[in-house]
Amino acid sequence: LSGVVTSISPGEVDSGDVVYVVGRTPVRVVESERPFWRDLQKDLEGDDVAVLQELLIAEGLLEGEADGDFGAGTERAVKAWQKAQGLPQTGTLMLGELVGVASLPTVVTLGETITVGSRVGGGEEGVLAPTGEREFVLVVTAEQARLIPAEATVEITFEEQRWTGVIAGSRVDETGSTEFELTAPDGGPVCGQDCGVLPGDEQVTLRSEVVITPRVEGSGVPAAAVRTRADGTAYLVTREGEVDVEVIGSGQGVAIVEGDGIEPGISVLVTGEPAEVPGEDAGTTEGD
């Protein structure tokens, strides 16, 4: 529509809600897969007419089904709707009075030019609404960015949901902060099939934790208890003899190992020769 914007109402909206007004003419949002592209008037047919009819039916002004045929009944309903709004009863809905968005209810924002008192000529960016696609971005300072390796993962939490993201790219914004683009490990959206649980707001801040070292689980033993053969395989000495193990993590004097027969509480030899029988001083594995 062209004219002067007299009021705006961005935020959470449902079908038929007014998002802004040009002069006295309200601009309303409706659920539609396609944009509106013409004036809607008598004798037209199409999906856009059906969307208008669905709105009129919801308002209690039109009976029957939305068949996409703009007949006399639809024209009367449009005139009644215009009369209720204090508008000229033309029976025609001008291009720009309805804005189609992908799904409702949702949260919308308005283009920069849609402000009270501004003059619009038509064609400006008017209503911005979510498309259903979610972009996950981790924003950190330049100093923090230097500490995050490319192979790091990000654990993201929302209510009962927990998702894992990987770094797919990065960019520096105008403030000097680094924005890491995140995806799921398979390259899809981080939220996978559960994106619907997120609010429809334009931007949502979620709790996140950068994982530099991947979490490992297993039995913890003193690192000094792990022995290595000439072929590179690792083993522990227990009361039953040598037990082959695989070291899956280590740090601060503790090694996390996996192997048949390694259970929490088993005694292992920390120092000495394998021929010695471990006694009361033998080390024991820690819990998982």
pLDDT digits (tens, 9 = 90+) for 212-257: 877 788 889 999 999 999 998 999 998 888 999 999 888 788 999 9
Phi, psi of 225 (to 5 degrees): -80, -15
Residues 103 and 28 in one domain: yes
Residues 123 and 143 in one domain: no
The CATH number of the domain holding residue 63 is 1.10.101.10
Length of the chain: 288
Residues 7 and 84 in one domain: yes
Give me the amino acid identity at 64.
Answer: G
| Nearest residue to 71 (alpha-carbon basis) of 82, 62, 59 | 62
pLDDT in tens, 33-73: 899 999 999 999 999 999 999 999 999 999 999 999 999 99
CA angle 85, 49, 27 (to 5 degrees): 35
Residues 65 and 144 in one domain: no
- Cα–Cα distance for residue pair 213/20, rounded to 1 Å: 50
Position 283 scores a pLDDT of 53
State the pLDDT confidence band at 137, using cuts at 50, 70 and 90: very high
Q: What is the CA radius of gyration of the chain?
A: 32
The domain of 267 spans: 219-284
Confidence check: pLDDT of 98 > 70: yes
Residue 268 CB coordination number (10 Å): 24
Residue 29 CB coordination number (10 Å): 22
Position 115 scores a pLDDT of 95
Is the pTM of the predicted complex or chain greater than 0.75?
Answer: no
H or E stretch including 144?
Answer: helix 142-145
Residues 120 and 34 in one domain: yes
State the pLDDT confidence band at 127, using cuts at 50, 70 and 90: very high
Residues 102 and 194 in one domain: no
H or E stretch including 81?
Answer: helix 72-84
Residues 184 and 235 in one domain: no
H or E stretch including 73?
Answer: helix 72-84
CA angle 229, 249, 189 (to 5 degrees): 135
- Cα–Cα distance for residue pair 24/197, rounded to 1 Å: 38
Q: Which of 138-147, 215-224, 249-258, 276-285 has the lowest mean pLDDT?
A: 276-285
Residues 179 and 245 in one domain: no
The CATH number of the domain holding residue 171 is 2.40.30
Position 280 scores a pLDDT of 46
| Torsion, Cα of 220, 225, 228, 229 (10° steps) | -120
- Cα–Cα distance for residue pair 149/152, rounded to 1 Å: 5
Q: State mean pLDDT over 267-287.
A: 61
Residues 115 and 142 in one domain: no
Q: What is the DSSP letter of 196?
A: G
Position 216 scores a pLDDT of 81
Which among 128, 150, 177 is the end of a domain? 128
On whether the CB atoms of residues 31 and 100 are closer than 8 A, the answer is: yes
Which among 211, 241, 269 is the end of a domain? 211
Which among 211, 241, 264 is the end of a domain? 211
Cα–Cα distances in angstroms (integers) from residue 244 to residues 232, 259, 267, in the given order: 11, 6, 15
Residues 44 and 122 in one domain: yes
Task: For residue 160, give every residue at least 6 positions away whose Cβ sits within 8 Å of its Cβ, in sequence order, or none.
Answer: none
Number of domains the chain is built from = 3
Residues 94 and 9 in one domain: yes
Task: For residue 84, give every residue at least 6 positions away whose Cβ sits within 8 Å of its Cβ, in sequence order, or none.
Answer: none
Confidence check: pLDDT of 152 > 60: yes
Residues 10 and 114 in one domain: yes
Position 150 scores a pLDDT of 87
On whether the CB atoms of residues 262 and 285 are closer than 8 A, the answer is: yes
